[in-house]
Amino acid sequence: MSIYDISINAANQSALEALAQNREPKWQPEAVDEFWKESAPLFDANKRHKQTGESMESYIKKYEAVRPHIYLPDASTMGDAHLQYAAFGPNPTLAGRAALLKSLNGDMDSYNFVASSWNADPSKLQPGTPPGNFDSAAAGLKAQERVKQLRAALAEAEEVANATAPKAKPGDHASNPWSKAGFNVTAEGSLVRAIGAEKAARIAASVGCTIGSTKPNPNY
């Protein structure tokens, strides 16, 4: 190897090391060292892959995709690829699954969500298929939590709306198709189809009738 080649290799080693050290999520230190040592000879003076012509950034993304074990374990984060890999990767273990569940504070819903992101059956110790992005499970759980928040907000808003809506005055049943003032067999049938027999029956009962009543209750 010429002095020129040695200098190019050294420059590429430094560039690749810096690139690997600044990845998110973080890599294990030994993974960083292994990466720049084995990858530097693959790049030319322009920091392009000698065979494919791709950039170092493009190369490192592909490198990460097939080596999820390189990440630094972090039991406090849902998106930890290392724990997911140990639980549902090519060689899943019960210990790996226990560690993942522990990192999720024992939340089985979250655990099962991660398993589904790997297309894995949590009840069987069989390998799954890695998700395209190891943060996908975390993103999915955040979205799931957001849906719960929105549903709770909607329920609260509906409760407030029901509490503050104008109340019908006693005897004011003109909009009720079973009432004396608004009796309409066609409208009754439409209402049953629209809201179901159970709810429609309650509306009919509010004016002393049943769904099958053929005439209104004169007291309403």
The predicted pLDDT at position 92 comes to 86
Q: How many CB atoms lie within 10 A of CB 125?
A: 15
CA distance 148 to 109: 13
Closest CA to 169 of 113, 102, 98, 220: 220
Closest CA to 204 of 166, 220, 162, 194: 220
Domain spans of the chain, in order of start: 3-68, 81-139, 168-220
E strand residue ranges, 52-138: none
What is the Rg, in whole angstroms, of the alpha carbon atoms belonging to the chain? 32
The predicted pLDDT at position 169 comes to 54
Tens-digit pLDDT profile for the chain (220 aa)?
788 889 999 999 999 999 999 988 778 788 889 999 999 999 999 999 999 999 999 999 999 877 766 766 544 444 466 778 788 888 888 888 888 888 888 888 888 888 887 889 988 989 888 765 555 555 555 555 655 666 676 677 666 655 654 555 555 677 888 888 888 888 888 888 888 888 888 888 888 888 878 888 888 7
The predicted pLDDT at position 146 comes to 59
CA distance 93 to 177: 64
The predicted pLDDT at position 109 comes to 81
The predicted pLDDT at position 48 comes to 95
Contacts of 117 (CB under 8 A, 6+ apart): 131, 136, 137, 140
The predicted pLDDT at position 143 comes to 55
Q: Hunting for tokens 């089985």 — which residue is that?
A: 108
